[in-house]
């Protein structure tokens, strides 16, 4: 059985979330709420920082 962990965190800075730890990250409307392109890019960079190599981001 797979373990599912849901985390609520700042969408720009994932504090207390270890690097390369997760297999999957799901974006539920964060990008369209970030008006500045630079903030969108930072969000995506942070997502890929916490994903394992080959992890999926939807």
Tokens matching residue 33: 């709420």
Task: Quick: pLDDT tens for 23-58.
Answer: 999 888 888 889 999 999 999 999 999 999 999 999
For residue 1, pLDDT beyond 70: no
**How far is 11 from 44, CA to CA, in rounded Å?**
9
User: Are the beta carbons of 50 and 19 closer than 8 angstroms?
Assistant: yes
d(CA 6, CA 12): 17
pTM for the whole structure: 0.76
Q: Could you tell me if 17 and 50 are in contact, meaning their C-beta atoms sit under 8 angstroms apart?
A: yes
């Amino acid at each position: 059985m797979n373990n599912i962990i849901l985390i609520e965190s700042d969408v720009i800075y994932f504090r207390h979330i270890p690097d390369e730890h997760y297999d999957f990250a799901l974006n539920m409307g964060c990008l369209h709420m970030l008006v500045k392109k630079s903030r969108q890019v930072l969000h995506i960079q942070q997502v890929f920082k916490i994903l394992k190599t080959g992890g999926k981001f939807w």
